[in-house]
Amino acid sequence: MNEQVWNGERRIEEVVRSATTFETEYNALHAQRINLIRTYNMWYAFGFAVSLSSFWVLIHFSLSVSSVPLMVAAAVVASLVALFAYRVVINIDRDLVALYPRIVFLELVLDMDFYRDFLRRRPRGETERSFIEKSEKIVAETTADLWRKVYAEFNARDFPCSRRLTKHFRLAAVLCIIMYWVVIAVILLPQYFADAV
């Protein structure tokens, strides 16, 4: 971002008269936000496709060579890939949350209420609502002072990923891993009990 715009000592009244720089930054931040959301959805889909395909390829190969260790390795590898994909999604979500204070600052400067209203109305979003309300009560003479105060109110821990990443992300990862191990059990347990009899 442009450091001069972020730290420039401009009076709030001056910004209202020449807001194009802040409007451009605001639009760029929303474009970046949308791209981050697309990125974690693509990572999620790609990660689980790789996880599923690696599992079935390794299972097929282990059955064709009759290798129990390779079968177990298939479940381990596929489980790790699924967990890695979910972890990448969480890390990308943290980058998304890092945009919040700047978006809120720009909305305060430009007298907009799009994303502030969205965060304020989130279900189970008491911390988001609190951040917005505190930010709206800030009194500042310059944009740099306003930015410092808004950023001081921001705490990334107040925006847990469970409020944005719906339960289906975590649920799909858990069910996928359970499925891998159930398939292994369905294949191996009848052989184990047949040998015991």
Average pLDDT by stretches of 10, the chain with 197 residues: 45 59 88 91 91 94 90 94 90 89 91 85 78 88 89 86 74 90 90 68
User: What CA–CA distance (Å, rounded) separates 194 from 12?
Assistant: 79
pLDDT tens, 18-32? 567 888 888 999 999
User: What CA–CA distance (Å, rounded) separates 103 from 154?
Assistant: 12
Tell me, what's the pLDDT at 9?
57
CB 147 within 8 A of CB 105: yes
Tell me, what's the pLDDT at 32?
93
pLDDT tens, 101-131? 999 999 998 888 888 888 888 776 678 888 8
Give the domain ranges of the chain: 12-196
Dihedral over alpha carbons 94, 46, 162, 27 (to 10 degrees): 50
